[in-house]
Chains A and B, each alone.
Chain A
Amino acid sequence: DTGVSQNPRHKITKRGQNVTFRCDPISEHNRLYWYRQTLGQGPEFLTYFQNEAQLEKSRLLSDRFSAERPKGSFSTLEIQRTEQGDSAMYLCASSSGQGAGNEQFFGPGTRLTVL
């Protein structure tokens, strides 16, 4: 499968714990995006990378969220001290090119449940 992959697919954690998600983009794609989606809403932008550089981070993100893409390939999204409000589907997408105007290819998502 050469599409975008995300692991784990589901994560249940207790409030206050840290969680880390991984995204493997399509190999030749230089752009990688993280989104969060809650019930009844569209994907909400969190951050994106061009190669290993993190170019933008949503102002809605608290300092508990951090993302990395150390070698310009896979990316990780970490949430520290999780809260119940962090429960959501976390989507990763990748695309080629220099701008965001190219087609984004989405992964299956990681569903986080914070108890």
Chain B
Amino acid sequence: AQRVTQPEKLLSVFKGAPVELKCNYSYSGSPELFWYVQYSRQRLQLLLRHISRESIKGFTADLNKGETSFHLKKPFAQEEDSAMYYCAPYPGGYQKVTFGTGTKLQVIP
């Protein structure tokens, strides 16, 4: 069965510390992977997608097909990074995007 797992419900780090938000998926084929973010009192929005290979707000995400993981990383956390982060694989075609349960990132000043 297709599944996406974000093992941490809450991740607390100090400002300036590295951040890694974990995402593991079990999908057949090669899904496209997204990270969405929801800041306090704001709408859910796209942060980045692996196909674009961009760094957005200092975040990057590496797709590891062997480990079926798509962890989100940032070398130095900022207070404004505090938010809910959702990993979302997309199998392709007319199939739907599935959202993980989310990880709340709390950056401590």
Interface of A toward B, CB cutoff 8 Å: 3-4, 33, 35, 40-45, 48, 50, 55-56, 91, 93, 98-101, 103-109
Contacts and interface: CB of A to CB of B under 8 A. Distances in A.
A95 to B, nearest CB: 9
A41 B101 contact: yes
B59 interface: no
Interface string B85-105: 010101011111111111000
B38 to A, nearest CB: 9
Nearest to B38: A106
Interface string B65-78: 00000000000000
A42 B93 contact: no
Nearest to B42: A108
Contacts of A106: 43-45
B96 A56 contact: yes
Interface of B: 9, 32, 36, 43-46, 49, 86, 88, 90, 92-102
A40 B32 CA distance: 24
Contact of B95 (A41, A93, A100, A109): A100
A42 B76 CA distance: 26
Contacts, number: 56
Nearest to B99: A42
A33 to B, nearest CB: 8
A43 B92 contact: no
Nearest to B104: A40
A21 to B, nearest CB: 16
Given A42-B99, A42-B101, A42-B102, A103 B94 contact: no
Contacts of B49: 103
B94 A55 contact: yes
A43 B96 CA distance: 12
Contacts of A103: 46, 49
A104 B93 CA distance: 15
Given A55-B94, A105-B45, 9 more contacts: A3-B43, A35-B99, A44-B99, A45-B97, A45-B98, A91-B44, A93-B44, A99-B92, A100-B94
